[in-house]
Each structure stands twice: as C-alpha cells, then as structure tokens.
Amino acid sequence: MDTPIEKMDRILPKKKGLQKKYIGYIAIGLAMIILIYLAFFTDRTSTYKVEKDKLIIETVIRDQFNDYITVTGNVEPISTIFLDAQEGGRVEEILIEEGSMVKKGDIILKLSNPDLHLAILDSEAQLAEKDNFLRNTQIAMEQDRIQIKRELLNLRYDIERKERNFKQNEILIKENLISTEEYLRSKEDLEMSVRSRDLFLERERQDSLFRSVQVEILANNLQNMRRNLGLVRQRVENLNVRATVDGQLGLLVPEIGQSISRGANMGQINVLTSYKVTAQIDEHYIDRVRTQLTATLDRQGSKFTLVVRRVYPEVRNGTFKIDMVFEESMPENIRTGQTYYISLQLGQPKESLLVPIGGFFQETGGQWIFVLDPSESYAVKRDISIGRKNPRYYEVIEGLQPGEKVIISGYETFGKNQKLVFK
C-alpha cells in the first residue's frame, strides 16, 4: 500500500494539442494581420457598379479649338424710322395701309385741327395790322421830311435876305447914313437866323436817325410776323403725315376718328435697302463680345459673313442684345422676321486638348471627370481644369492626356463614389 508521500511525488504526463489559453492570442494575432492587410493591401475607394452600355464614353483628342458660340438671330430692317405726330389733330383719312411700300414725301394719313386754322386767321390779321401801321408810319415820316425841307428852304431864304440887309447896313454905317441901333439889329437878326438854321439842321439829323431806327424796328417786326405766319401754315401742312424715307410701312397705329396728341408715335417705316440680324446672348459672354467680331450664317449650303455693328450694354433676363450686318452679300429672298442659327467667332483658333460637350459638366462644373482605366473595366474620378467651350467641345487646360477615354454623360446617379465598375 502506497504512502501519501508517494502519491505526491508522482510525475504527471504533458497534455498534447492546442491549449485553450493560446486560442485567444492566436485570434488577436489573426485580427491584427487582417487589419494590416486591409489597411495597406486593399482598395478602400468607394465604388459604384454601372452598365457600360448606358454611358456615353468619348476619347480626349488634341485638335484645333474654334472659339465660337451659336446664337439665334432674327432678321430686321437695317433701320426703322418712327412716325411721330409733329402736330396734334383728329385722323380724317388714311391713304396708305400698313405693309405697303412708300416713297419719300407720300402722304400716309391726314389730320384735322380747327385751332390751327384759327391761329392762321389771327396771324394774318395781326400781319395786316402791322403792315398798315408801318405804311402809315412811313407816310407820316415822308410828310415830316417834306415839311422839314420846306422849313429849311424858308430859313435859307430868310438868312439870305437878312445877310443882304446886314451887308447894306455895313456900308451905310460907315457913311453914317443909318443909326448904330439899326445896324446892330440887322446883325443880330442875321446871327439869329443862322443859329436857327443850325438848330433845325441838328433836329433834322436827330429826326432822321429816329425815323431810320423806327422804320427798321417796324420792318423787323413785320418780317417776324410773316415768318410766324409761315410757321403756322407749316403746322397746317404737318397735318398731312408724310413718309420721310423710302421703305415699307411696317406699323400704323391710328384709326379714323382717333385724336392724336402732338409727339405721339403713329407708326414706323422699315428701310429695306439692307437688313441686320439681332441676337440675344448669354450674359456670360458680355466681356468677350465686342464690335467688329465676325459671324457666319449658313443657308442652304452657302455661307454669309456678318460683322457685329452694335453691342447693347443693358442686360435683361440674363441676356444682352447685339446687332450684326452683312459684310458683303446676303441671302436671296431674305425677309424680316426670319430666324437663323449663327456662329459668332469670339477668338482665334488654337490647338488644344478637347473633350466633347456632355451632361457631366452640370454635376462637376468642369472640375473633375471619370476617366477609364486602360483595361476599360472601370473608371476613376480625376480632377481637371476646363477653359473655354464652343457648341461641340470643352477646352481642357490640365488633368487629361490625348487618347484617354472619359465618361461625358450625366453623373446624377453616381453620388459621391470615386470609382465606377462596369458590369
């Protein structure tokens, strides 16, 4: 029988296999290995699966970039002359209908204004009164002139008689045949007559100047009244509204019996010797569009060159207006109101990297694009920079290389994913 000491000294055999205390360490190690692998050896880019057939894929090319935009142009007459009423009145008769061709001087419509006829009668009466007053004044002046001549004649006769008497008295006084008083009286009479003559001559000169000024003033007043009468008669003539240029009566507002105020617009005449083309352009291009730029109009296979003649500064509803004229020839049978698509050249052609116009721009603003991998099994997002554009291409400044393929269709369904995997 074994003792207790012998039982304590027995050697226990070692357990074989994986012990439980090592399983936890192994699990922790495997987890760390997986994390390291995921962190350094796997692609964590967010992906989105799409059907390749539903995408629009184009190739980046290097080619000539034509800096132009396509605008819609409307044909208008080269100029429009407005018919404004030079005189107010009532419409009595319309002689030429809207749309008819007119010649300069043709009467388009007639107005009536009784007040103008009364003004003519009043001006004629005032003119007659002034004319009669001038005539009476001239007659009175002529009578005064004759009277003055008669007075001068009498004065000269009186001077001659008194001078003769004085000379006789000079001889007689020397011989003491007359008294000194009689001699002195004859001398004083002569001197008095001479002074009277000189004074009368001075009065004649002053009266002559006064009469000349008065006649000139009356004549000028009379001339002004005649001119005023002519202007009033011209106002009556203005009641006949005439065409000021050759052209087409494009608009006629008044109706028979309608009262027209002075200065009111009654219509317009379209000058059809040539035409211009107007267009509304997006305000984005307002700093680039200027006069003398050229544009091209394509009609039935023929190209016609236009030149920008005027750029309107006002921006309305996000657009501004320009006028273009034909540089040389223009299309046959062109008509007011026709619409054409016109290519407006904004700059000189330049060789650049080009990407076709597509819906991607609405989402990216031209700041990035999806570029296909050479295997064409997926596409990744890449930052780019886009410059100018025309109706066909965007100009790529940086971020792409010739020959690379890009997705240009809309990106609305892609969300914020960085990678697209094709199904």
How does residue 22 score in pLDDT terms, banded at 50, 70 and 90?
A: low
Of 2.60.40.420, 2.40.30.170, 3.40.50.720, 3.30.497.10, which CATH number belongs to 68-110+244-347?
2.40.30.170
**Cα distance between residue 86 and residue 235, in whole Å:** 8
Going from N- to C-terminal start, the domains of the chain cover 4-41, 47-65+350-422, 68-110+244-347, 115-237
pLDDT tens, position by position, 356-399: 999 999 989 899 999 999 999 999 999 999 988 888 999 999 99
Residues 6+ apart with CB under 8 A from 71: 279, 280, 281, 295, 341, 342, 344
H or E stretch at 20: helix 20-41
**Cα distance between residue 60 and residue 404, in whole Å:** 5
- Paired strand residues for 292: none
pLDDT value for 25: 66
246: nearest Cα among 276, 275, 271: 271
**Cα distance between residue 107 and residue 96, in whole Å:** 8
**Cα distance between residue 231 and residue 123, in whole Å:** 10
Taking CA atoms, 228 is separated from 131, 206, 217, in Å, by 14, 33, 16
Of 2.40.50.100, 2.60.120.380, 3.20.20.70, 2.40.420.20, which CATH number belongs to 47-65+350-422?
2.40.420.20
pLDDT tens, position by position, 163-217: 888 888 888 888 888 888 888 998 898 888 888 888 888 887 887 787 778 778 8
60: nearest Cα among 267, 353, 292: 353
Q: How much is the pTM?
A: 0.54
